[in-house]
Structures are given as C-alpha cells and as structure tokens.
Amino acid sequence: MMPSSIALRPTLTPFKQFYANQFGTKPQPPPRGTTFASKTAIITGSSSGIGQECARQMLDLNLSHLIMAVRNPAKGEAIAKELRKGHPMAVVDVWKLDMLHYASIQAFAEKCERELRRLDIVILNAGGSNQAFKVNKETGHEESLQLNYLSNALLGTLLLPVLKNKRSPGAGPGRMLFVSSALGVTSKFSNVAADPLLPSFTEPYVSGKEQWNLGAAQERYSMTKTLVNMFIYKLSTLVSADDVIIDGVEPGYTKGSGLDADVTGVLKWVLWVVKSLVARTLEHAAWTYIDAVDTKGKESHGCFLMCYRNWPFHALMYTPEGEAATERLWKETMDELDFAGVRGIVESMKH
C-alpha cells in the first residue's frame, strides 16, 4: 500500500515537482473495465473546463446519474443537452449552485438530501483565481479564499452524511474529491503564524498594509490550495474511510481549464504561449479525477494525489508551526461555518 501524504516528506524543489508532473508522468487512462454503472455523481463547475470533460468521460464509462452543479443553469443546460444526446440511457440533471453564497450552498445540499435516492461520488471542481482584489460582500473574505477554500469546505462537509447514507448498496465507501493544486505544496505561507488566521488573508489588503498585484494573486491561489490540503487531512482524521474516502488531486497545468480567464494584456499572450508548449489536455486532466475517485482506494484517504500517487503535503505541514496552523485553521473554519451545523455533522461522522 502506498504511504499516505502525511507519512511522506517533500524532497523536490518547486521546479522539479512541476517537471515531474507535466513531463515525468505518463497520462494514465481509466483501466479497462472501469465503470460507473448504477452510480450517481455530482460535479461542481461542470459547464466548462476539466469539470465538463470529466462529466463526459464518466458518462462514457456508464455513469447512471450526473448532477451538474453550476452557477449558470442556462449554460449548464446547453452542455447537458449535448451530453444527453450522446448518452441517452443516463440521467443528466442541471442544478443551480453559486459557490460565492452560503445560502445557495445550503439549498443545494438540502436538495441533495431531499431528492437524491443515491449519491456515490462528489467532485468539488469549482474554483478560480482572481487577478483583481475582490471582497465577498456577504462574508467579508477575499473571493479566492471564499471560493476555493471556505465554500468548498462547507459544501464538502454538508454532503458527507448524504454520501454516507445514500451510497449505492455494495458499492463501497462514498467518494469526495477536492480539486487541489501542486501550487498548494509550494506556497510561501508567510502568514502561517497569524492568529486569527483567516482574517489575515483579507485585512492587510483592505487596510492598505499590503498591495494586491499579480504576484499576490498567484500566491493567493496557491495558498487557498494549501488550506484545502490542510482541511482534507484534518477532516480525514475524523471521518472513516469505510464511510467516505476524502482526498485531493492535482489535475496538472491544463489547456482550456479557464483558470486564467480574467487575465488580460501581455500576460494573457505569454500564458497562451506557455500553455501551448507545456500544458496537458482536458482529457488527460480529467483522467486524474477518475483515477482519484475510482482507481484509488482507502490508501488515498486524507491524501493529496499528484502524478497518480500520494504526494507529500506542503513542507510546513510537517513542522510544529504548520501543525498549529492546521489546528487553528480547522477551528476557525468550524467557527465560520457554525451557522450550517458543521460541527454536528463532523461529530456524526466520527469513527
């Protein structure tokens, strides 16, 4: 069995990690015989990019019921119409989900509990990177932090009991996949000692103590994925892999992912050139999702997957300072999301 991510130790420089992921790893298609027959899956952000490609591939592998969780239902329906044509035996539903609003997330989770007979797989694919500094008016948090970390933490937690209680008979544990990034293991994390931690991602930019620029935007995206990995690890220590296997995956630097959609000017042209030279295809990126939710088993519970195997976390997570930050992040996240009853849900999932 592969060692878990927390049992490994980071040894590669950021460049060597990038090289290993983009060039040193051969894309691995789903093994022959892979099937999602009789299973139900939710994919957030599935009206474009890797999420859309993953939806298509899972339907090709006989997925019985797909819920496309999207912010724009009209756009989602246009995609779903094409998917239904190619997969007439499957049920393809489009449900509204706005990850920037807690009420929308709660309503979506309640609908899952109320209307779904089965739920086997949740792929938390929705995310993004903001080149401009934006604060979520509802929560007061910077939007990348809100979207990539806090909102996914809420939705993931709310869907845990649904996965546990509505998984298909005989299908094994439910599967919950957070989409992470290799950048999450190389972030600077300069505010690791901040207490409280969550406000330190927004307040310095609001007050003018720090300036938001392209470098800050890149670091913020990286940091949100560090937080995702911390959350995955902590949550996995409280949830049994016999009920739900929780892990995160790095899909790779990918053409057509839409991650840099708001980039403009010379940088947009530079990124286009770089992606043309080194980025992987949407097909290959979606293979990493399928590997994570089907090929991998309990050995990946609480792990970060890259290069189709368990990969070390951020180096700080192996230090006393990083361990303290992980615990502080967990407590602050539970406090932030307490209105939705997350503590009670986690308590009910304990093994």
- Residue 265: the pLDDT is 63
- Residue 262: the pLDDT is 63
Condensed to tens digits (0 to 9), the pLDDT of residues 231-257 reads 999 999 999 999 999 999 999 988 876
* Averaged pLDDT, 174-183: 98
Q: Which domains does the chain have, with CATH numbers?
A: 5-188+207-316 (3.40.50.720)
- Residue 350: the pLDDT is 87
For the chain, give the mean pLDDT.
94
* Averaged pLDDT, 132-142: 97
Q: Judge whether residue 260 has pLDDT over 90.
A: no
Residue 19 one-letter amino acid: Y
Q: Which among 39, 164, 225, 296 is annotated as catalytic?
A: 225
**Ranges 64-68, 198-202, 259-263: which has the least confidence:** 259-263
For the chain, give the percent of residues with pLDDT over 70. Answer: 94
Parallel, antiparallel or unpaired: strands 244-249 and 174-179: parallel
Parallel, antiparallel or unpaired: strands 303-306 and 91-96: unpaired
Structure token pair of residue 280: 């992987």
Q: Judge whether residue 122 has pLDDT over 80.
A: yes
The three-state DSSP-derived secondary structure of 69-128 is EECCHHHHHHHHHHHHHHCCCCEEEEEECCCCCHHHHHHHHHHHHHHCCCCCEEEECCCC
- Residue 1: the pLDDT is 74
Q: Judge whether residue 263 has pLDDT over 60.
A: no
- Residue 259: the pLDDT is 62
- Residue 277: the pLDDT is 67
Q: Judge whether residue 223 has pLDDT over 90.
A: yes
- Residue 279: the pLDDT is 81
Q: Which among 221, 253, 289, 308 is annotated as catalytic?
A: 221
Number of H helices, E strands in the chain: 12, 8
Read off the pLDDT band of 144 (50, 70, 90): very high
Look up 289 and say whether it is catalytic: no
* CA of residue 214 relative to chain centroid, distance: 23
Structure token pair of residue 264: 């403009």
Nearby residues of 327 by Cβ (< 8 Å), 6 or more positions away: 234
C-beta separation of 305 from 292 below 8 A: yes
- Residue 18: the pLDDT is 83
Q: Global pTM?
A: 0.95
Q: Judge whether residue 220 has pLDDT over 60.
A: yes
Q: Judge whether residue 278 has pLDDT over 80.
A: no
Helix (H) or strand (E) holding 40: strand 40-44
- Residue 14: the pLDDT is 85
Q: Judge whether residue 268 has pLDDT over 70.
A: no
Look up 221 and say whether it is catalytic: yes
